[in-house]
Amino acid sequence: MVHPRAFFANIQRRLVGRSDGLRAAVMTTTGMGCSSSVVLEESVPYPPTPVVDTEEHRQLSTFVPKHSETLVEAYRRLDEEICALESTTPGPRLMTAEAWVELLKSAKDPVAPPPQPPPPPLPNEVHLPNGTVPNGVPVGKMNPAEKYDPAESVRVEMVKVREIMLKLDIVSNQFKAAQQEEFIARLSRTALDQEADHFREEMIVHAHKRALTLRTNFERLKRLYLEQDHVLTTVYSGAYGTVNEQRLDVELDAARDVRDRLGGAVEQWRIAGGLLRAAAKGLLQVVDYWELLRPAKSAQETITLALDARSTCHGALMALEAAQAALPSVEIPYITIRQQSAVRHALIYLLTDMVNPARYQHTRDVFGVFSANVSKAVHWLHECYNETLKQDFDSADQVATLVAKNLREERLRYMGSRMPNKIYVRPAIG
């Protein structure tokens, strides 16, 4: 860990040549605190700060008081702003967030798979010469020249499945549902694969927005550091003013180092916790969708509810898998690979199982138990975080804040004795 003043240079150097080693370093747990903690949401969001670009000077002026101030007053203001922003540890969090974006991108296949020839027909799925299946259902074909769009592919696949289900009259006929079970299952597998690409893309976009927010705060901290360094250069001649100041500066470096390490870990648990909570919320919706299937409804409405349940449950599974990937060294309780496999299997056969009362009840039980277990896991992660990592971080932050305050007062006394009435002129910082 480097001194926070040089942290931005270190991040820039390490992020340019980001490697698997960096990704592994930031995506593993810290040695301090609990190895299974989580932050599901920040209690106080970071203050929004505009990114300096073409309007940099106008934006920077928002951080400067309109009235004139002395050098002593300027240092106090800058140091208090720095202390408050350092408490959010934007540097370590930024490294973790950007490494997470890269990890998601590496897990996503950026190139759409080439169109494959249609598989041989199943026993009850005889293709006709005009490219249809029995009852006149068209078989969708992909134009190789078309650009692959996950969202559009999902929409097209949903429409196709809905039309096929209606034409084959599967919703109201158990015999036809059993007869076409594997055919519908094959369509479901294709739809789930396309939907997975769409969900991964959404996670990347969301993670990238988080990284941009952190970078905005980090850029602001860099500007504050540069301005504070200008004040110190005006007063000091390259050496500490007092022995006590030097001692406090060394203590502050050590305290910041501890807080920064914990801050990076907190961001890691925040990522995993947010995904896990999204999975729990989605699964509650799935249970509601599935319950609504049983009352007598039109075939169109039944299919729509079933597809909504399948899509929502698939999204919850993807979020859960991503949460586990964000915490590779942590075994989240209450959730097993076997349970996840059972849910995925239920999604494949959901459209035909909903017609059979016994299978409908079995799928209902699978969804209900899995939803309850994921909710338990969220509760466990909340408790673990509050009892361990949160306490560790808060303690480290309090220590660093107290030392920073003592150093600030020591420097203010020295500045007041050297230049008590000198008016501060803000430098032009690019």
The string of DSSP codes covering 269-298 is: HHHHHHHHHHHHHHHHHHHHHHHTTSS---
> Which amino acid belongs to residue 104?
L
- CA 133 centroid distance within chain: 42
Q: Residue 407 to residues 255, 316, 401, 402: CA-CA distances in angstroms?
A: 13, 48, 10, 9
* Phi-psi sector, 67: left (phi>0), alpha (psi -120 to 50), beta: beta
Query: pTM for the whole thing?
Result: 0.76
Using only C-alpha atoms, the chain has a radius of gyration, in whole angstroms, of: 29
**The pLDDT value given to residue 202:** 95
Residues 6+ apart with CB under 8 A from 30: 261, 262, 264, 265
Cβ atoms of 173 and 200 within 8 Å: the answer is: no
Distance CA 408, CA 83 (A): 10
**The pLDDT value given to residue 17:** 37
**The pLDDT value given to residue 252:** 97
Distance CA 50, CA 297 (A): 51
Q: What residue ranges of the chain have pLDDT lower than 70?
A: 1-67, 109-151, 296, 430
Q: What is the pLDDT of residues 148-169, one digit of tens each?
A: 566 677 778 788 888 998 898 8
Cβ atoms of 282 and 312 within 8 Å: the answer is: yes
Q: What residues are paired with 132 via a beta bridge?
A: 138
Q: Please report the DSSP string for 17-45 in residue order.
A: T--HHHHHHHTS--SSS-TT---SS-SSP
**The pLDDT value given to residue 161:** 84
Q: How many residues does the chain have?
A: 430
Cβ atoms of 328 and 271 within 8 Å: the answer is: no
* Structure tokens that stand for 21 in this block: 């080693």
HEC secondary structure over 143-209:
CCCCCCCHHHHHHHHHHHHHHHHHHHCCCCCHHHHHHCHHHHHHHHHHHHHHHHHHHHHHHHHHHHH
The residue written with tokens 């409908």 in the block is: 360
Map out the domains of the chain as residue ranges: 67-107+149-419
Distance CA 79, CA 221 (A): 11
Residues 6+ apart with CB under 8 A from 59: 50, 52
Q: What is the pLDDT of residues 374-427, one digit of tens each?
A: 999 999 999 998 899 999 999 999 999 999 999 999 999 999 999 888 998 888
Three-class SS state of 108: coil
Distance CA 32, CA 25 (A): 14
**The pLDDT value given to residue 430:** 60
φ, ψ of residue 179 in degrees (nearest 5): -65, -40
List for the chain the helix, strand, coil content (%; round to 5): 70, 0, 30
Cβ atoms of 68 and 416 within 8 Å: the answer is: no
**The pLDDT value given to residue 129:** 39
Residues 6+ apart with CB under 8 A from 126: 133, 134
Please report which helix (H) or strand (E) contains residue 409, including its range.
Answer: helix 389-418
Cβ atoms of 21 and 257 within 8 Å: the answer is: no
Three-class SS state of 137: strand
**The pLDDT value given to residue 104:** 95
Q: What residues are paired with 101 via a beta bridge?
A: none
Three-class SS state of 61: helix
